[in-house]
Amino acid sequence: MGTNVPEPWRAAVDATPRELFIPDRALWLRSDHTTVPIDRSTDPDTWLRAVYSNDAVITQLDDGAAAGDGDFTSSCSMPSLVLTMLDELDVKPGMTALEIGTGTGYSGALLGHRIGPQNVITIEVDPQIADSARVNLAKVDSPITVITGDGAAGYPPGSPFDRVIATASVETVPYSWVEQTRPGGLMIVPWGPPMANHHLMRFVVGDDSAVGTIIESANFMRLRSQRWEPPDEPDDFDEIADTSTTDLDPRVVLGNHARLAVALHLGECRAVFETDASGETLWLLAADSWASVSGGAVRQAGARRLWDEAEAAYSWWLEQGSPVRPRFHITVTAERQWVWLDSPENEVAINRSQNS
Ligand SMILES: C[S@@+](CC[C@H](N)C(=O)[O-])C[C@H]1O[C@@H](n2cnc3c(N)ncnc32)[C@H](O)[C@@H]1O
């Protein structure tokens, strides 16, 4: 495998050949974001290179509804990321764990090898994917329990768990996961608001709450029930939009560490950069509001002024001393969850979708 394996996971990796988990036909998602269709029967060499690369392999598009290009809805994640997540889970043999998002079964098999397969329950929402995971797991004699269902509810019959690991991302951390983790336990969860859905959080669980810290960048597909896509801008956007100008570069406002602060303030809004012969345009798209920024020209329409909000959020981030992402944390309780900077009293933004 083209990745460094942390020593405690070496035996699990050796006992779990990734090729037993990858379907004969899939899509190799390379690190430069290009995709290569792979087919074991027609090009076994490329298939094997994909399997033993450090890249994700996409195993389902559009919830299985379509062939060809579409949204990625299931995969065998990047091996190095899988191992980082498992290592951050800080497990010991004999602990119990719940995995949300079985996918191919690969990460569940690794976990089962380390802590004992009887101690791992994994939940997959898609029945076909759950079935093929069961077949894959049988190939490595891994009798972890695969449940077909919505992992947003956790799995009460198996609780409390020492550890919870999600391999689909959330904006709102389901409280069921906190409730079903033993106090003192840990949860590893990919998290982020729509404009910055690429953070790996490590939660320490208390008696009735959990506190999370960002540990890494990580791109994951959303948990099904938390998917959200805004509509495109309306056809008459040019006519209805207010126009103004800006001195700020959208790439800076949505730059590395600022992006999370802006994303939190904007809530349910998506950012899309489009390039054509005239240059680059940033689109901000929310359910009822739209903005475009191109070459300093700003156009905004709808209920909100999204670029004005982005500029205000960016100023807030500068005023706070340009905090880097690990300074942002989340507290999750039964009533609500909130993001804070440095200390729990310094609340940044209430996760809007939870309150809507
Ligand atoms: C990145 S893949 C999982 C990778 C997997 N751990 C592996 O090693 O192959 C994410 C999976 O989460 C599943 N998923 C999405 N929403 C879910 C939900 N609400 N409950 C359970 N599984 C869900 C998807 O169907 C998909 O198979």
* pLDDT tens, residue order, the chain (356 aa): 557 899 999 999 999 999 999 999 999 999 998 999 999 999 999 999 999 999 999 999 888 886 556 888 999 999 999 999 999 999 999 999 999 999 999 999 999 999 999 999 999 999 999 999 999 999 999 999 999 999 999 999 999 999 999 999 999 999 999 999 999 999 999 999 999 999 999 999 999 999 999 999 999 999 999 998 888 899 999 999 999 999 999 999 999 889 999 999 999 999 999 999 989 999 999 999 999 999 999 999 999 999 999 999 999 999 999 999 999 999 999 999 999 999 999 999 654 543 33
* Calpha distance 172→212 (Å, rounded): 12
Q: Are residues 152 and 24 in the same domain?
A: yes
**Ligand 1 site-directed mutation target among 61, 83, 124, most atoms within 8 Å of CB:** 124
Find the catalytic residue in 74, 77, 169, 292: 77
Q: Residue 251 belongs to what domain range?
A: 237-319
Residue among 245, 247, 253, 250 at smallest CA distance from 317? 253
**Ligand 1 site-directed mutation target among 16, 78, 98, 125, most atoms within 8 Å of CB:** 125
Q: Are residues 25 and 102 in the same domain?
A: yes
Catalytic residue at 80? no
Q: Which residue, 224, 250, 277, sits at the end of a domain?
A: 224
Looking at residue 213, its pLDDT comes to 97
Looking at residue 256, its pLDDT comes to 86
Contact 146, 134 (CB under 8 A): yes
Q: Are residues 97 and 171 in the same domain?
A: yes
Q: Which residue, 201, 224, 247, sits at the end of a domain?
A: 224
* Calpha distance 213→328 (Å, rounded): 7
Q: Looking up tokens 């994951």, which residue turns up? A: 220
**Cβ contacts of 212 within 8 Å, gap of 6 or more:** 173, 187, 189, 191, 201, 202, 203, 204, 329, 330, 331, 332
Q: Are residues 18 and 166 in the same domain?
A: yes
Residue 324 maps to a domain: no
Residue 230 maps to a domain: no
* Calpha distance 31→102 (Å, rounded): 23
CA 231 – ligand 1 centroid, Å: 25
CA 197 to the chain's CA centroid: 6
Q: Are residues 39 and 113 in the same domain?
A: yes
Q: Are residues 241 and 283 in the same domain?
A: yes
CA 50 – ligand 1 centroid, Å: 20
As given in the structure block, the two tokens for residue 153 are 């509810």
How far, CA to CA in Å, does 325 sit from each of 116, 208, 350? 35, 25, 17
Q: Are residues 210 and 89 in the same domain?
A: yes
Residue 13 maps to a domain: yes
Q: Which residue, 182, 199, 224, sits at the end of a domain?
A: 224
pTM: 0.94
Compute the residue count for the chain.
356
State how many domains the chain has. Answer: 2
101 lines ligand 1 (CB under 6 A): yes
Q: Are residues 96 and 155 in the same domain?
A: yes
100 lines ligand 1 (CB under 6 A): yes
Residue 334 maps to a domain: no
CA 52 – ligand 1 centroid, Å: 21
Q: Are residues 154 and 21 in the same domain?
A: yes
Nearest CA to ligand 1 atom 3: 103
* Calpha distance 294→129 (Å, rounded): 42
Residue 15 maps to a domain: yes
Q: Are residues 129 and 35 in the same domain?
A: yes
Residue 193 maps to a domain: yes
**Ligand 1 site-directed mutation target among 60, 80, 140, 167, most atoms within 8 Å of CB:** 167
CATH number at residue 44: 3.40.50.150
CA 102 – ligand 1 centroid, Å: 5
